Structure 1
Amino acid sequence: MSIGKEIVFFFGALGTFNGFILSLYFLFFTKKKYLSNYFLGALLFVLSTRIAVTVFVYFNNDLPKTYLQIGLSACLFIGPFLYYVLKSAIHNTVLKHWKLHLGIWFLAVLIIGLWFPYQNYPVLWNYYFVAFIFLQWFSYLFVSGYEIRILLQKVISNYESSSAAEKWFSAIFFGNALIFLAYFLGFSRVPFVSCITGAVAFTFVLYLIILILLHRKRTDDLFLLSIQKSKKLSESESVVILQKLQKIMNEKALYKNPNLSLKDLADEINISSHQLSQFLNNNLGRNFTSYINEFRIDAACSIITSNDKLTLESVGYDVGFNSKSTFFAAFKKHTGTTPLNYQLQALST
């Protein structure tokens, strides 16, 4: 075995080992027993099983075919467990018949595995069963993505202001999507993908471990997605926060700081980042970036109508945008027109 393969084998095996340890943690050792914990533990267990088989078979093709059957069978549970992880987190509940749902897949794997063992039907497994497995896996991945589409849009558009739980479940989805892609490319006979799979799995598990370490004093915050999403501040609380925000933004013009963060603004009005994010999302219906950009665009409109000597690009920088393209895109989204058209309209009146 070459040094390169030994390194790949090491990281793949390490990722698999950590995945098994992490699955045991979620299944048995978390303080609060959220249902999503159990599904995540099960998801990591079947993922680690599949990846372990991939890593060892890649470096030893003489392993018994039973190992291949176990690895492929584990793939049939990755999609369902991923779906239930996200479903239970977002809605704080799952479908009433989730046990029946998973039981049917388990029974199907057991019956097919006994009647058509890989050892005796390699062609059937390598072509037809594998194709079905990838179709089933992709279907659950697609449905899972649709289930958390709003969450993914928020995290992608404004990662910094997203809560720990939102980042956590987004990481779980994207990690699974990358692992699926690596396996699918391998199935499509793309060279060297089997090596990449181990590295992707290691990175995915390592990222989850890092998130846990960052929130080790309040790990349960990672699983409070549904509570954060559904809870809305009272009218009196929202009025107080809104007044503080408007006062601080108008008096200090904080929006002119291109590096202004959710935490910076929360500190200015003496509330937590989570409370501010909750207020903006649930009470005002917008994220942190959209809220700040409204002040920036309003200020830009005032400058454009009162001073035609400044370039539009310089106006964008003056009000807090860090690039011309970001300014132009936000301006059109907020006003429905471009800065140039707005300027021309202002000059013609």
Structure 2
Amino acid sequence: MDAIFTSGIFMSFFIALLLFTKKNKALTDRILAVWIVLIGIHLLSYYLYHLGFWEKYPHMVGITAPFPLIHGPMLYLYTLYSLRNDSSLRLVDYWHFAPFMLGYLSMFEFFFFYSAAEKRMVDHGEVDDFALSTTIMLIGFIVSGLSYSILAYRLTWRHKRKVDDNFSFEEGINLDWLRYCIYGIGIIFFTATIIIILREGLGVEFSFNADFIFYTLIILFIFYIGYFGIRHQDMFTHNTDAKVVKGDVSLQQKYRKSGLTDEALQTGHHKLLSFMNNQKPYLDPKLTLGDLAGNLDMSANQLSQIINQREAVNFHDFVNRFRVDEFIRRATQNDSFSLLAHALDSGFNSKSSFNSIFKKHKGVTPSQFLKSGIMSENEEKMGH
């Protein structure tokens, strides 16, 4: 266990150092760096407690007691500003740290007016002067952790909808890794909630130190951040690729003022399909809703309405359906090139996105599709 803790603590401060020394740091880099430092301090504090340092140095008792209240807000703000272009926090954002600060204010007397002997007694449970504030902080931790995890997930879900409504690709704007972070933090908070309810609420006595479960999950989360940073180097180095879907491309007033009649929808739909089949704009791997709307002399809002209502899909799925069919045509007519070559020629810009999109549309992998009889059946439907 000692090796796990020391590795997690070292990794925390090492990742934070890389982020603090990163050139052209974005606001999200600073938020993540501060958060990782706080996690490292939290882990270090508990590890010192585990080693018995609080018994030797009782003035260390409770120094990180309110720390669990900081992780939810940090997760939310990191997620929020991963989707925005702001260079600094707004004043309203600092209110998220109010419970954290109130936690320390509630312990002011303990920190500055209790003797070492009295602090030992509180730590051993011989004095319950802070039982109420401790209970409030535990409840606050549960509510904060689960609530902020849900709010952060909702932000990424809205972002995913914006991406699918406006882009035919995901590279550079896909935030799946962030959703995985949110899942991980959500699992940590949920696990801690179960342990707190069982131990503090129901009086269950574990045969082992249940806190190790919570802190081990935190360390695994740190390892994931480190792994992601090494695998995707843009976390630790400057990257100029756009990762943010700006608010001006979202269709927040969707179709309210489009003014499209049923006849106009039908005409626009016919014009769209004709352009897609004849001009093949989907061969551009960076095709966006705005690009296609400009070619059709429509507004992005009108084009989105036509696709959503006439095709019953979003822009991302609509365009990639044509790319999948284009790949099938090319692979059928010429087997001298690799599947990836055909995919890139069909408008896909990576092997991973091609495989996932193809399986989503056809239910099988590209190689399985071409080896099976599904291909011939679909070719007949396509008019071959």
Q: Shorter-chain TM-score category? A: 0.5 to 0.7
Whole-Å separation in 1 of the counterparts to 2:66 and 2:90: 25
> Is residue 353 of structure 2 the alignment partner of residue 272 of structure 1?
no
Partner of 1:52: 44
Letter in structure 1 aligned against 2:155: E
CA shift, 1:85, in A, is: 0.2
Preserved CA contact (<8 Å) 2:66 2:100: no
CA shift, 1:88, in A, is: 0.6
The change in CA–CA distance for 1:87 and 1:99 in structure 2 (over 3 A counts) is closer
Preserved CA contact (<8 Å) 2:156 2:175: no
Partner of 2:79: 86
Partner of 1:207: 224
CA shift, 1:18, in A, is: 1.1
> Is residue 153 of structure 2 the alignment partner of residue 136 of structure 1?
no
The change in CA–CA distance for 1:52 and 1:186 in structure 2 (over 3 A counts) is farther
**1:136-215 correspondence runs (5 A):** 136-149=144-157, 163=171, 166-187=175-196, 188-189=198-199, 190=206, 191-215=208-232
| 5+ residue gaps, structure 1 | 1-7, 155-160, 255-259, 278-286, 298-313, 321-349
Partner of 1:31: helix, strand, or coil?
Answer: coil
Match among 319, 339, 344 for residue 374 of structure 2: 319
Preserved CA contact (<8 Å) 2:13 2:40: yes
CA shift, 1:43, in A, is: 1.6
Q: Which has the higher helix share?
A: 1
CA shift, 1:140, in A, is: 1.7
Preserved CA contact (<8 Å) 2:188 2:214: yes
> Is residue 218 of structure 2 the alignment partner of residue 225 of structure 1?
no
Letter in structure 1 aligned against 2:331: K
1:273-303 per-residue CA deviation (whole Å, 9 max, x = no partner) reads: 29x95xxxxxxxxx97455544569xxxxxx
CA shift, 1:180, in A, is: 2.2
The change in CA–CA distance for 1:47 and 1:223 in structure 2 (over 3 A counts) is farther
Letter in structure 2 aligned against 1:141: S
The change in CA–CA distance for 1:124 and 1:168 in structure 2 (over 3 A counts) is same
Partner of 2:83: helix, strand, or coil?
Answer: helix
Partner of 2:9: 16
Partner of 1:71: 64
Match among 300, 324, 331 for residue 252 of structure 1: 331
Letter in structure 1 aligned against 2:144: Q
Partner of 2:257: none
Could you say which structure has the larger radius of gyration?
A: 2
* Number of equivalences: 273
Preserved CA contact (<8 Å) 1:183 1:193: no
Partner of 1:20: helix, strand, or coil?
Answer: helix
Preserved CA contact (<8 Å) 1:40 1:85: yes
Q: Please identify, of 51-60 and 9-18, the stretch whose mean Cα deviation from structure 2 is larger.
A: 51-60
CA shift, 1:245, in A, is: 5.2
Preserved CA contact (<8 Å) 1:46 1:75: no
CA RMSD, 1 decimal: 4.4
Partner of 1:73: helix, strand, or coil?
Answer: coil
The change in CA–CA distance for 1:100 and 1:129 in structure 2 (over 3 A counts) is closer
1:184-219 per-residue CA deviation (whole Å, 9 max, x = no partner) reads: 344333544322334323322222222222233784
CA shift, 1:86, in A, is: 0.2
Whole-Å separation in 2 of the counterparts to 1:66 and 1:265: 67
TM-score (normalizing by structure 1): 0.61
CA shift, 1:19, in A, is: 0.9
Letter in structure 1 aligned against 2:178: F
Preserved CA contact (<8 Å) 2:28 2:78: yes
The change in CA–CA distance for 1:99 and 1:292 in structure 2 (over 3 A counts) is closer
Partner of 2:108: 114
Partner of 1:345: none
